[in-house]
Amino acid sequence: MLKYYNFNLKKYNAYRLSSVCAKAIFPENEEEIIQIYRNNPDKKIILLGNGNNIILSKEYYDALFIILNNCFDRVEINGTEIIAQSGCTMLHLSELALENSLSGFEVFYDIPSSVGGAVFMNAGASGEEIKNLVVKVRYFDLDDFQIKEITRVEIGFEYRNSFFQKNNNKLVLKTWFKLSEGKPEIIKAKMDDIKQKRWAKQPREFPNCGSVFKRPSERFVGPMIDELGLKGFTIGGAQISQKHSGFIVNINNATGKDILSIIKKVQKQVKKKYGVDLEVEQRII
């Protein structure tokens, strides 16, 4: 279990925002995570996976960050079932599935999310959602300091939402996924096609956290922003992507405040012109 003080989180959030926390700990197993919470009852603790769907709104956090990326990431494969700790990335999981001729994770290939983050928000792409592959989840309940398990049905997945978003005191530790047998060449071809299409449409050349807003029922977000003339709009080092208006990118040492300022402007103008309330998909910390 590695510990650091006055730790810069820049490498651990997809926007590459330079935010410092008072203390950061990298646990390797469930026992160490429980120990951290027991030893710090009065300390603000923030759990961080791959940092892909978060906005660090402060430049300094007087808090303890538990970082799961590159440490709490073990994977087991039993037939068509894959069991993964929360710090494992969906990229790595997709590659492991391919190596074992298992189909189901193709659409999540090249999505820079951790398993915990994907389950937390019910990640999805191309009409598919992570909920369709989940069997059950093992989690740590901060209310009574017990480790529990919950089935997919009990989780109550919704569009970009889950039991865990509604209960921030329940921490995803491990997830069981059920895949299906497939031909490696077909799985690989689908993964390559998905990656190519994403790189063609999305601003992968700049740090970003994917789609900023949840898709409203009325209209697509990108076209509304385009029609408002906001494509390329910049505040500080943050910019509405010139490649895809549904993304905000860090073009020059952006801060969380820069990103939040753009979000507020877009929400205000979209509400004024279209009467649509845009809900932020990313988690603001």
- Is the Cβ–Cβ distance between 8 and 49 less than 8 Å? no
Residue 11: CA count within 13 A, CB half-sphere: 7
Residue partners of 215: CB distance under 8 A and separation at least 6: 221
Task: Tell me, yes or no, if 281 is annotated catalytic.
Answer: yes
Task: Tell me, yes or no, if 59 is annotated catalytic.
Answer: no
Q: Spot the catalytic one: 160, 162, 241, 245.
A: 160
Q: Spot the catalytic one: 114, 211, 241, 245.
A: 211
Whole-number Å distance between alpha carbons of 163 and 165: 6
Task: Tell me, yes or no, if 211 is annotated catalytic.
Answer: yes
Whole-number Å distance between alpha carbons of 232 and 235: 10
The conformational region for residue 147 under phi > 0 = left, psi -120 to 50 = alpha, else beta, is beta
- Is the Cβ–Cβ distance between 9 and 56 less than 8 Å? yes
Residues annotated as catalytic are: 160, 211, 281
